[in-house]
Amino acid sequence: MSSVSEPSSPSVEIRHRQGHGPVVILCEHASHHIPSGYRDLGLDPAHRFSHAAWDPGARGVALALSERLDAPLVASRVSRLVYDCNRPPEAQSAMPARVEVIDVPGNRNLDAAERAARVEAVYRPFCEAVTEVLAERRSRAIPGVLITVHSFTPSFHGQRREVEIGILHDADRRLADAMLAEAHRLPHRCIRRNDPYGPDDGVTHSLKVHGIGQGLANVMIEVRNDLLETAEAQRAIAGELCLLIAPALASLGPAFRLGEGAADA
């Protein structure tokens, strides 16, 4: 199965566009890249590559899931500090001036024109890519499910997080409920609903726009990033996630069943 990147814009990556599985995968925080015009947003080097700038390991998990699930992947190529593609343009957190204890000088006092320019450069191409992929699949009569992939830091504001895998949802909880019902398949993992984040934290924008808004069952997966420190670890976690995803998809109906081997950890 090819995973070669498809032609796309400088701000968005599309892989395995012609996948035949029922899932479309999004990875909004896949990259820490800050285009040169933004002058590193005034950040120290350590902060440019920290969890504030991206979700470490998330892209590797998303790629592995794309392979296993025969699923298209749409990923941002730009740091979420330039624009967070999981936030609407009007949200201050779309271009945050501060993340946890990290100040982002290049995001201070942005005027309307500067914000609009980032929307056009980063957010709109991402949304258009997702819309195009979903439209192509509808034209091929492929049933649709949306899964977004993220990672989170083990410690936030000095507090250790026990949860290892978060299964997040907004108003449509079908896929999340079905995945959580399979959590017994991973007895060694701490798996929780809407943890470490939930709808009240503003993290379900993509689910609402590209999932609920398109009538697709949807879920957001958060993995603690200390479980994703190597490519091998990322592939292993993807295998574990498939133990939850495969039966959850099957619960939606025969059209959503995966081929043999997809759920092998």
In a domain, 232, yes or no: yes
Tokens of 153: 């830091």
φ/ψ of residue 151, rounded to 5 = -130, 160
In a domain, 198, yes or no: yes
In a domain, 121, yes or no: yes
> Based on the structure, what is the number of domains in the chain?
1
In a domain, 261, yes or no: no
Let me know if 257 is exposed, middle or buried by CB neighbors in 10 A (0-12, 13-18, 19+).
Answer: middle
Q: What is the pTM of this model?
A: 0.95
**Sequential DSSP letters for 63-91:** HHHHHHHT--EEEE-S-TTT--TTS-TT-
CATH of the domain at 172: 3.40.630.40
**What CA–CA distance (Å, rounded) separates 146 from 144?**
7
Q: pLDDT tens, position by position, for the chain (265 residues)?
A: 334 445 468 999 999 999 999 999 999 999 999 999 999 999 999 999 999 999 999 999 999 999 999 999 999 999 999 999 999 999 999 999 999 889 999 999 999 999 999 999 999 999 999 999 999 999 999 999 999 999 999 998 788 999 999 999 999 999 999 999 999 999 999 999 999 999 999 999 999 999 999 999 999 999 999 999 999 999 999 999 999 999 999 999 999 999 766 666 6
In a domain, 265, yes or no: no
Domain range enclosing 216: 5-256
